[in-house]
Amino acid sequence: MPATDKQGETMDIRTYGDPVLRRTAKPVETIDDEIRDICRRMVEEMLRADGVGLAAPQIGIPLRIIVLDVEGEFHVLINPELLFVSEETETGIEGCLSVPGVHAEVARSAQATIAGTTLGGERVEITGEGLLARAMQHEMDHINGHLFVDHVSQVKRRSLIKEFERKKRESEE
């Protein structure tokens, strides 16, 4: 079941073509009950969709918030910043809840460090490699208005978008 907002409206994950996915998200000014509720809804939606990460713009909220659930590591970060990415890269298959049904090989830095604020107001740094590093970079892309398809060739991107649009049409029929 999709997460709902305070009025009980469905909070579906926004998909490719939605302008909110291409905008740079704004910083969170204060961690209050509204922000905690947004984070709760994001976690619910990420778990419902069986994702490893989700950024607030993906549910239509243009704020700098990400949630991650990777290999037993769970994080909710407000105003995350990418502090470090290694020069060493790894290529791996990547997908996205906002571009459902398509996957592509994407090169990402093998290690990454992000910093952000927890819901409790604590400043934390997270360093990861492998899938965690990939997920951190992927979600940071979202709050900066980028998608994983931006990391492939123009030809591959066109192919992925055509495949996404075909699958979307089929699911609507």
Specify if 48 maps to a domain. yes
Q: Across the chain, what does the average pLDDT equal?
A: 93
Q: Is 105 a catalytic residue?
A: no
Return left, alpha or beta for 50; rule: phi > 0 is left, psi -120 to 50 is alpha, else beta.
left
Q: Which two tokens stand for residue 136?
A: 């951190």
Q: Which residues pair with 84 in a beta bridge?
A: 113
Specify if 59 maps to a domain. yes
Distance spanning both ends of the chain, measured CA to CA = 21
Q: Which residues pair with 65 in a beta bridge?
A: 78
Q: Which of 139, 165, 170, 172 does the annotation list as catalytic? A: 139
Model pLDDT for residues 24-55, shown as the tens digit of each residue: 999 999 999 999 999 999 999 999 999 999 99
Specify if 138 maps to a domain. yes
CATH number for the domain that contains residue 115 = 3.90.45.10
Mean pLDDT computed over 8-25: 86
Specify if 2 maps to a domain. no
What pLDDT is attached to residue 173? 83
Model confidence at 1: pLDDT above 60 = no
What pLDDT is attached to residue 71? 86
**Which residue segment(s) compose the domain that 91 sits in?**
19-172
Model-wide pTM > 0.75: yes
DSSP 36-79: HHHHHHHHHHHHHTT-SEEEGGGGT--BSEEEEEETTEEEEEEE
